[in-house]
Amino acid sequence: MFEMELPASLVDDVHKLGAEAARAECVAAALKGVLDGSGGDRKSLMEAALPRMEGAKARLSVELDAKLVQEYQAFCEHKDLRPDVLLAGALVGKLHPAELRPAAAHAQDAAGGASSQAAAPPAPAPAPVAEWGFLQRLATASNVLIQTVIALLLVVATGYLAHRHYHRFDGTWTRDYSLSDKTHQLLANLKKPVVIVTQWMPETQLQVEVIEKVKDLLEEYAHGSAQVKVKDIPALINPKAAEKAFQDLGLKQPEKFNDVIIACGDRQKTASLDSLYEADYGGGQFGMMGGGPQTMKAFKAEEALTSSIQNVMQDRRPCLYFLQGHKEPSLEDAGGRGEQDGISLLKQKLESGENWDVKAWSSRTERAVPDECDCLAIVDPGQKLLPEELDSVRKYLERGGRLLCLLEPSRERDVAGLEVFLRTWGVEVTNGYVIEPSRKARLVVEVAPGMADARIYQDLLKFVARDYGHHPISEKLGAAPPMFWQACGVDKLASAPPELEVTPLAKSTAESFIRTNLSLESDRLVPGEDRAGPISLAVAVEKKLAGAGDGAGQRKARLVVIGNSIQVRDWCQGRFGASDLVLNSMRWLLEQEHMISIEAKKPESHKLSVESNEMENLVWVRNVSLFGMPLCSALFGFAVWFLRRR
Partner 1 sequence: MEASSSAAAVAAAPAFASNPARARAGTFGSVVGSFFRQLLTLTWRELTAYFFSPMAYVILTPLLLFTGYIFFISFREASQQAGALEMRHFISLFNFLGMFVAPLLTMRLLAEEKKSGTFEMLVTAPVSDVGIVLSKYIASVLLWIFFLLPGAVYVWILKKFGANPEYGSILCNYVGLILLVGVFLAEGILFSAFTGNQIVAGISSFIALFLLYLVGYVKPNSNWAGVDWNEVFKFMSLFNHYQNFEKGVYDTRDIVYFASLIVFFLFLAVKVVESRRWR
Q: Report the site for partner 1 in 65-124 (rule: CB under 8 A).
A: 80-82, 85-86, 103, 106-107, 109-110
242 contributes a contact to partner 1 by CB under 8 A:
no
612-631 residues near partner 1, rule: CB under 8 A: 612, 617-618, 621-622, 624-627, 629-630
Q: How far is the CB of 135 from partner 1 (least distance, A)?
A: 12
Q: How far is the CB of 365 from partner 1 (least distance, A)?
A: 56
Among 136, 314, 517, 522, binds partner 1 (CB under 8 A): 136
DSSP 8-state assignment for residue 627? I
445 contributes a contact to partner 1 by CB under 8 A:
no
Query: For residue 586, which of 318, 206, 227 has the smallest C-alpha distance?
Result: 318
Could you tell me if 161 and 285 are in contact, meaning their C-beta atoms sit under 8 angstroms apart?
no
Determine the interface stretch with partner 1 among 156-164, 246-254, 488-496, 547-555 (rule: CB under 8 A).
Answer: 156-164
Q: Which residues pair with 491 in a beta bridge?
A: 428
314 contributes a contact to partner 1 by CB under 8 A:
no
Query: For residue 59, which of 122, 94, 7 has the smallest C-alpha distance?
Result: 7
Reduce the DSSP state of residue 559 to 3 states and report it.
strand
27-56 residues near partner 1, rule: CB under 8 A: 43, 46-47, 50-51, 53-56
Could you tell me if 187 and 228 are in contact, meaning their C-beta atoms sit under 8 angstroms apart?
yes
Q: Where does residue 271 rank: exposed (0-12), middle (13-18), buried (19+ CB within 10 A)?
A: buried
Cα distance between residue 137 and residue 614, in whole Å = 72
Considering the complex, state which of residue 176 and residue 414 has its C-beta at the smaller distance from partner 1: 176
Binding mask 327-366 for partner 1 (x = CB under 8 A): ----------------------------------------
Determine the interface stretch with partner 1 among 168-176, 279-287, 355-363, 531-539 (rule: CB under 8 A).
Answer: 168-176
Q: How far is the CB of 644 from partner 1 (least distance, A)?
A: 7
142 contributes a contact to partner 1 by CB under 8 A:
no
Among 174, 185, 204, 314, binds partner 1 (CB under 8 A): 174
169 contributes a contact to partner 1 by CB under 8 A:
yes
Longest Cα pair distance anywhere in the chain, in angstroms? 138
Cα distance between residue 118 and residue 112, in whole Å = 10
Considering the complex, state which of residue 17 and residue 123 has its C-beta at the smaller distance from partner 1: 123
554-613 residues near partner 1, rule: CB under 8 A: 604-612
Cα distance between residue 463 and residue 582, in whole Å = 17
3-state secondary structure 13-47: HHHCCCCHHHHHHHHHHHHHHHHHCCCCCHHHHHH
Q: How far is the CB of 240 from partner 1 (least distance, A)?
A: 18
Residue 86: CA count within 13 A, CB half-sphere: 20
420 contributes a contact to partner 1 by CB under 8 A:
no
Reduce the DSSP state of residue 129 to 3 states and report it.
helix
646 contributes a contact to partner 1 by CB under 8 A:
no
Among 115, 172, 238, 519, binds partner 1 (CB under 8 A): 172
DSSP 8-state assignment for residue 159? H
175-204 residues near partner 1, rule: CB under 8 A: 176-177
59 contributes a contact to partner 1 by CB under 8 A:
no
280 contributes a contact to partner 1 by CB under 8 A:
no
Q: How far is the CB of 167 from partner 1 (least distance, A)?
A: 5
419 contributes a contact to partner 1 by CB under 8 A:
no
How many residues bind to partner 1 according to rule CB under 8 A? 78
DSSP 8-state assignment for residue 603? P
Rounded to 10 degrees, what is the CA torsion of 149, 152, 157, 163? -160
Binding mask 462-501 for partner 1 (x = CB under 8 A): ----------------------------------------
Q: How far is the CB of 101 from partner 1 (least distance, A)?
A: 10
Could you tell me if 540 and 559 are in contact, meaning their C-beta atoms sit under 8 angstroms apart?
yes
Could you tell me if 195 and 225 are in contact, meaning their C-beta atoms sit under 8 angstroms apart?
no
266 contributes a contact to partner 1 by CB under 8 A:
no
Cα distance between residue 636 and residue 163, in whole Å = 45
Binding mask 523-542 for partner 1 (x = CB under 8 A): --------------------
Determine the interface stretch with partner 1 among 145-153, 433-441, 501-509, 590-598 (rule: CB under 8 A).
Answer: 145-153
Strand order in the sheet with 467-468: 357-362, 319-324, 375-379, 402-406, 556-562, 536-544, 500-507, 467-468
Cα distance between residue 503 and residue 537, in whole Å = 11
Could you tell me if 308 and 595 are in contact, meaning their C-beta atoms sit under 8 angstroms apart?
no
Considering the complex, state which of residue 6 and residue 406 has its C-beta at the smaller distance from partner 1: 6
Among 159, 193, 265, 282, binds partner 1 (CB under 8 A): 159
Q: How far is the CB of 105 from partner 1 (least distance, A)?
A: 10
User: How many C-beta atoms surround the C-beta of residue 636 within 10 A?
Assistant: 10
Considering the complex, state which of residue 47 and residue 374 has its C-beta at the smaller distance from partner 1: 47
Cα distance between residue 41 and residue 50, in whole Å = 14
Considering the complex, state which of residue 522 and residue 623 has its C-beta at the smaller distance from partner 1: 623
Q: Please report, for residues 612, 618, 621, 629, the alpha-carbon distance to residue 615 in angstroms, rounded to integers and kept in the order given.
A: 7, 5, 10, 20
Considering the complex, state which of residue 22 and residue 130 has its C-beta at the smaller distance from partner 1: 130
Could you tell me if 492 and 426 are in contact, meaning their C-beta atoms sit under 8 angstroms apart?
yes
Considering the complex, state which of residue 230 and residue 586 has its C-beta at the smaller distance from partner 1: 230
Reduce the DSSP state of residue 61 to 3 states and report it.
strand
Among 38, 70, 116, 140, binds partner 1 (CB under 8 A): 140
Determine the interface stretch with partner 1 among 141-149, 333-341, 367-375, 431-439 (rule: CB under 8 A).
Answer: 141-149
457 contributes a contact to partner 1 by CB under 8 A:
no
449 contributes a contact to partner 1 by CB under 8 A:
no
- What phi and psi, each to the nearest 5 degrees, are found at residue 267? -100, 140
Cα distance between residue 120 and residue 124, in whole Å = 12
Considering the complex, state which of residue 53 and residue 386 has its C-beta at the smaller distance from partner 1: 53
Among positive and negative, which fits the CA dihedral 171, 175, 178, 182? positive
Residue 78: CA count within 13 A, CB half-sphere: 7
Q: How far is the CB of 643 from partner 1 (least distance, A)?
A: 9
203-232 residues near partner 1, rule: CB under 8 A: 216
